Structure 1
Amino acid sequence: MHGSAASVGPAAADTPSRGTLDELDLALVNALQMAPRAPWAQLARPLGVDAATLSRRWARLRASGEAWITCHAAPSQVAHGALALIEVSCVPQAREALADRLARHPQAMSVELVAGSCDLLLTVATATKSSMTAYVLALGRDEAVTATRTHLVQHLYQDGSEWRMDSLSRDQRRDLAEAEDSAARTAAAILAPEDRALMFALAQDGRRSIASIAAELDRPESTVRRLLHSLLHGGRAVLRVDTAHVHSGWRSSATIWMSVPPAQLVSAGDELSRLRSTRMAASVSSEANLLSVVWLHTLDDLARYEAQAAARITSVRVLNRAVNLRWIKRMGRLLADDGRSTGFVPIDLWAPVA
């Protein structure tokens, strides 16, 4: 049920493509990254516009597919299951069809067409390590797949839900700090069935009202409000605000595999997390023991990023790169060529492997 694609209506005929997000759009996205479910009235004063304007802006951004809020399992849940980046090589003429097929998998959080040593790059999450094994084996049986290489994530130093735009002033960020929905990152509790039901109810629209969630789950609003607070502030799930990257000025991205001496792994991961372009930093179990996913304004910025990393981590060696050609799916969202959301496949770590 959770693995079926759902349309989110971004390509409506009466919603023209606007090319790029303006300053207020970017400020609104930045504010929602800090406080995804804050009332519009609470965001109005620091952004300098009225609540009705913010509500209309967000409705337009969602309808056009240029911005959205997703709810998904928190990084703390990785310790209970498995997270991996999987390089996939395939028959050239089957690449696009294979990517579209894999994007329908609920375990595939993201699917990219890439340039480098493989054709596709998948980010896959499962509730157990045995399920990850089953997924990798099933992937290898696909007739279009010629080779796979799996990089199991050992520790996340940063993930995309923690990345912030820099569209707000220091004063605006300070004013918004009280509204920020900060969730603990060290929670040990496994998502309970009622947590999962609430997370799936919020998955497509992280600002969905308590009333509509309560109606869907047939629970009292007071109970849903309490469970939601526990889910988010207990660090078991996170709300992630995303945009069509091309429209927000980040026109390129890449995954970089690196190697550092084991004794320097933690400090190296922390250093990568401090770099502005780092969306994700993690230690992995392969020839490379460290990787970062970076967003770039232009592809030329990749060399500058690697130079910054080398300046901060003198022992680092870059072993491989996968440069994004096109996102097929990113954190459950099916994307158009320009990065706009065109549909949604909820991420389901517990779905059986087909």
Structure 2
Amino acid sequence: MQESAPSAAPGTGDTPSRGTLDELDLALVNALQMAPRAPWAQLARPLGVDAATLSRRWARLRDSGAAWVTCYAAPSQVTYGAMALIEVSCVPQAREALAERLARHPQAMSVELVAGSCDLLLTVATATMSLMSGYVLALSRIEDVTATRTHLVQHLHREGSEWRMDSLSRDQQRDLAETEEASHRTAAGATLTAEDRVLLFAVAEDGRRPVASIAAELERPESTVRRMLNSLLHGGRAVLRCDAAHLHAGWRSTATLWMSVPPAQLTRAGDELCRMRDTRMAASVSSEANLLTVVWLHSLDDLARYETQVAARIPATRVLNRTVTLRWVKRMGRLLADDGRSTGCVPIDVWHPVA
């Protein structure tokens, strides 16, 4: 699949290419988290800005790499496959080069340089367990890799696309929640067909890509593509996700906590984590640490506060390990610069054969 990098945006105008995102930027990202393909005219009223301004603002955010909308197979599509977090230890001097190399793997949803018990943390998804086995074995054969540890996801309590910036008022959120786009986005879906996959990859890099552009590429009538896209997205077989350069949005630290919870309390503990504002992702996993959470924080000091809240809400929980992200190299298919801006895309492909 073709990879491409967004063009540089000018350093002046509505959105600085490397500056802190302002209130309208954050509100727009929040709105697109709720309704990723909503027309600008539909977003104008709740955001209190005209459609032309929103269109121009989004173009600058997108082109500067400050924000983006991606599309990928819904977690339900790996029900008969596997999703895992893989800790990777490597030769110290090869760390950055290895991270960049692994970020090119279509099975690797995310790649992080981390501080903790390993050097890199990968989030990987495959359509079958045999593909996951092959991926882990191939990973261990890479010359610079010294050790790996795989944590298979048993249940995903919260996926990152469900997390919100929380930059909108309750009235604005209520207005957006009433849109057809937002209300149908989380429906469960059947298995993706071969035709679905072609369409999925056509919008993988830009989830707001116009139907006319997709139709031209696929050489299909616009009406057919519009119907297929609505079925794909509203049927829950694919996920649209609006994301932003976290450092520019004020989220300065990311950490993964590995916890142990009595099995009888695992479901309740996962649900409780989902109610916490800073929880970006939560999953039950098959390892000594049977519950993990990915948290986004305004500063590293907030990690202790988060752990204190977890202990108060779920007293039986023990934190066994922590990894703090030093740098996101890839997040859900997007290749990221040091400051978190998108520099390109390697679409997630859970069906890709292991090299």
The answer to whether the 8 A contact 2:125-2:132 is kept is: yes
Structure 1 segment 212-291 matched on structure 2, within 5 A: 212-291=213-292
1:217 positional shift: 1.1
Aligned to 2:81: 81
Partner SS, residue 80 of structure 1: coil
1:185 positional shift: 4.8
Structure 1 segment 89-168 matched on structure 2, within 5 A: 89-168=89-168
Amino acid aligned to 1:102: L
1:84-128, Cα deviation, whole Å (9 max, x unpaired): 000000000000110010000000000000000000000001110
Amino acid aligned to 1:7: A
Structure 1 segment 1-354 matched on structure 2, within 5 A: 2=1, 4-9=2-7, 11-12=8-9, 17-179=17-179, 180-183=181-184, 185=186, 187=188, 189-354=190-355
1:25-55, Cα deviation, whole Å (9 max, x unpaired): 1011111111111110010011111000000
1:186 positional shift: 6.4
**RMSD of equivalent CA atoms:** 1.3
The answer to whether the 8 A contact 1:154-1:283 is kept is: yes
Query: Aligned in 2, Cα 1:167/1:185: closer, same or farther, shift over 3 Å?
Result: closer
The answer to whether the 8 A contact 2:36-2:207 is kept is: yes
Query: Aligned in 2, Cα 1:53/1:326: closer, same or farther, shift over 3 Å?
Result: same
Amino acid aligned to 1:129: M
Amino acid aligned to 1:214: A
Q: Distance in 1 between matches of 2:182 and 2:171?
A: 18
Comparing 240-249 and 224-233, the one that deviates more: 224-233
Amino acid aligned to 2:50: D
Query: What TM-score does the superposition give when structure 1 sets the normalisation length?
Result: 0.97
1:81 positional shift: 1.4
Q: Distance in 2 between matches of 1:21 and 1:298?
A: 17
Q: Distance in 2 between matches of 1:304 and 1:22?
A: 26
Structure 2 residue runs of 5 or longer lacking an equivalent are none
- Aligned positions, number: 351
Comparing 113-122 and 30-39, the one that deviates more: 30-39
Query: What TM-score does the superposition give when structure 2 sets the normalisation length?
Result: 0.96
Partner SS, residue 181 of structure 1: helix
Partner SS, residue 354 of structure 2: coil
1:188 positional shift: 5.2
Amino acid aligned to 1:302: L
Amino acid aligned to 1:250: W
The answer to whether the 8 A contact 2:189-2:235 is kept is: no
Partner SS, residue 235 of structure 1: coil
Q: Distance in 1 between matches of 2:123 and 2:82?
A: 11
Amino acid aligned to 2:253: S
Partner SS, residue 182 of structure 2: coil
Amino acid aligned to 2:333: G
Q: Distance in 2 between matches of 1:304 and 1:99?
A: 30
Partner SS, residue 325 of structure 1: strand
The answer to whether the 8 A contact 2:40-2:51 is kept is: yes
Q: Distance in 2 between matches of 1:185 and 1:13?
A: 36
1:293-316, Cα deviation, whole Å (9 max, x unpaired): 110000011111111111111100
1:139-182, Cα deviation, whole Å (9 max, x unpaired): 00000000000000011010100001111111111111122424
The answer to whether the 8 A contact 2:9-2:17 is kept is: no
Partner SS, residue 167 of structure 2: coil
The answer to whether the 8 A contact 1:333-1:342 is kept is: yes
Ranges of 4+ aligned residues in structure 1 off by more than 2 Å: 11-18, 180-188
Query: Aligned in 2, Cα 1:175/1:184: closer, same or farther, shift over 3 Å?
Result: closer
1:184-210, Cα deviation, whole Å (9 max, x unpaired): 656352111111111111111111111
Partner SS, residue 137 of structure 1: helix
The answer to whether the 8 A contact 1:111-1:327 is kept is: yes
1:271-303, Cα deviation, whole Å (9 max, x unpaired): 001100111000000111100011000001111
1:220 positional shift: 1.4
Q: Distance in 2 between matches of 1:95 and 1:225?
A: 44
Partner SS, residue 72 of structure 1: strand
